[in-house]
Amino acid sequence: MNKPVTNVASASADLSRTPAASNNVTDNTITPAGGKSMRDFWQWMFSPERRGAMLVAPALIMLFLMNIFPLMWSFGLSFFHYKASSIRPPRFAGFYYYEKVLTDPVVWERLQTTAQIVALSVLLQMVIGFAMALMFEKKFPFRRELLMLVLTPMMLSFVAVGVFFKLFYEPTFGILSQGYAYFFGEPLTLLATKWGAIWAIVIADAWMWSPFVMLLVLAGLVSVPDYLYEAAAVDRASWWRRFKTVTFPYVRGLLLLALLFRTIETFKIFDVVYIITAGGPGTSTETIAVYVYKVAFQFFKTSQSSALSYILLFVVIVLTNLYLYFVNRRNEEI
């Protein structure tokens, strides 16, 4: 936006034509050309027109090496018959694997399962996160300390959460099951049915990540200007109206942001599922990420898993665009 205008490049080009500069060239027979072109190159590179490019270059290079190159590699593989475990060289396959994946009912089933888990978990995260943010919005003694208690779950590893929640659900030893048995007389076998197992996963995941949503919402809440609340109070707005017209608009964008990040992350949910249910009972809680893991790493159907991943990427990109569309609309409104 605010580009400073300097034209060092042209100024220095003038300079190099001065006698002093040409002297320099004749003085030394070996390095001057290199030295000069080096310096020119340097000046070219760091000229203001290229400042933006220079600033982002390290990041782009790093992302290219560490993310984009491997992605392109696997993208390429998705068009070949290839098994990572096999010594046979890849053979061209065209869109074979895309067709295969898109027509595979198993993939659609796994996507459906994933969607169910994502929908429930993200919804729960939004609700819990929002409720807790409202709770912490006001100032009260020990607010800092209590807030830390609530933030802790997201600092735990997936392994820790998975393993301990599985223990909580365990019918004999699990504290949840024992609590249930105390009231209902029989142990809780939550993981025995599809929906029980889905809820088991959703509870663990939502517990872990609601604090994330809470932080974002809280940031929105504390930025609502006081005068709006005062105005709402003067206008004798009901709690709900105040929430809808004053609070929510300030939080909506952040809520959408949380929604996007959590949807993308939950879409990839793997460890918690793998540890708590291993996809069971049967395959009823097997998410798409678990499925990709199996296909890629246990079955070594490298091409198929690559093709599948790219379809997933497409789905996520669509979701993201949708999200960005909403965010942009919001920014225009304000």
Partner 1 sequence: MKHKLNILGALTAGIFATGLAVTATEVSAKDIVINMAGPDWGPTRFLQEKFNKTYKAKSGNNVKLVFDFIPWPNFYDRVAASLTSGEKKYQMVVSDSQWIGTFIEGGHFLKLNKYIDADPTLQAIMKDTHPAFVEAYATYPHKSKNYYGFPQFPDTKMTWFRKDLFCHAGEKAAFKAKFGGTLPCTYAEWKDTDWKTWASIGEFFRRNKGDKLGDGVAADDFYGIAYQAGKGLDFSSMQINAFIWQHGGSIWDEANEPKAQAVGVVNNAASVKGFQHYLDLLKWSPPVAKTGQMDIFVIQELIMQGKVAAIINWAGLAPPALDPKNSKHAKQIDFALTPGLRGKDGKISRWDNIGGQPFVLTTWNSDEVTMEALEIVKWWMSPEVQLDFAKNGGESGLMSVMARSDYNSIRPWNRAHVELLDWQKDVWHVPEFFEMLTQQQEEFDKAITGQKTAKQALDAIAKFQQDLLTEAGRIQ
Partner 2 sequence: MSTIETSNLTKRFGDLTAVDGVDLDVAAGEVLCLLGPSGCGKTTTLRMIAGLENATDGDVHIAGRRVNDLSPAERDIAMVFQFYALYPSLTVAENLAFPLHAEKMTKAEIDARVAVVAGKLALGDVLHRLPNHLAEGEKQRVAVARSIVRDPNCFLFDEPLSRLDVELRMAMRGQIKEILSELSKATVIVTHDQLEALTMADRIAVMRDGRIEQIATPHDIFAHPKNVFVAGFIGTPQMNLLEGQLLRQNGQASFALAGQEVSLELHDAHDRLHAGESYTVGIRPRGLEPLSEAAPGSLAATVDLVEPMGAETLLHLQADDQDIRVVVDRHRVVREGERLHLGLAADKLHLFGQNGGRIEL
Partner 3 sequence: MFGKRKERGLREAGWGQTLFAGAIGLIYFFPVLWIIMTAFKTRTDALATPPKFIFTPTLDNFVSVFWRVSQQGNEAISTGFGLYFFNSVFVAASGVLLALIIGTLAAYGFSRYPLKGNDTYLFVILTTRMLPPIIVIIPIFLMFRLTGMSGSYYGVILLYAAFNLPFSIWMMKSFFDELSGDVEDAARLDGSSERGVFFRICLPQLKAGLAATAVFALILTWNEFLFALLLTGSDTRTVPVAMARTIGGELGVDWGLLAAIITLFLIPVFGVTYLLQNHLLRGVTFGTIKK
Instruction: Summarize as ranges the residues that interact with partner 1 (CB under 8 A).
Output: 84-87, 166, 170-173, 186-187, 189-193, 277-283, 294, 297-300
Asked whether position 223 contacts partner 2 by CB under 8 A, the answer is no
Identified binder of partner 3 from the candidate list 23, 103, 172, 238, rule CB under 8 A: 172
Q: What is the 3-state secondary structure (H, E, C) of 8-41?
A: HHHHHHHHHCCHHHHHHHHHCCCHHHHHHHHHHH
Q: How far is the CB of 271 from partner 2 (least distance, A)?
A: 42
Q: How far is the CB of 85 from partner 1 (least distance, A)?
A: 4
Residues 6 or more apart whose Cβ sits within 8 Å of residue 128: 206, 210, 213, 214
**CB nearer to partner 3: pick between 58 and 105:** 58
Q: How far is the CB of 60 from partner 1 (least distance, A)?
A: 21
- Cα–Cα dist 199/212, whole Å: 20
Q: How far is the CB of 47 from partner 2 (least distance, A)?
A: 12
**CB nearer to partner 3: pick between 93 and 129:** 129
**CB nearer to partner 2: pick between 7 and 18:** 7
Asked whether position 286 contacts partner 3 by CB under 8 A, the answer is no
Pick the closest to residue 122 from 209, 211, 196, 219 (CA basis). Answer: 209
CA distances from 149 to 82, 132, 153, 324 (A): 49, 12, 8, 32
Asked whether position 3 contacts partner 2 by CB under 8 A, the answer is yes
- Cα–Cα dist 218/209, whole Å: 14
Cα distance between the two ends of the chain: 21
Asked whether position 37 contacts partner 2 by CB under 8 A, the answer is no
Q: Residue 91: what are its φ and ψ, rounded to 5°? A: -120, 145
Binders of partner 3 among residues 119 to 148 (CB under 8 A) are 132, 135-144, 146-148
Contact segment (CB under 8 A) with partner 2 among 3-11, 38-46, 153-161, 299-307 equals: 3-11
Identify what 108 binds: partner 3, partner 1, partner 2, none; CB under 5 to 8 Å per kind: none
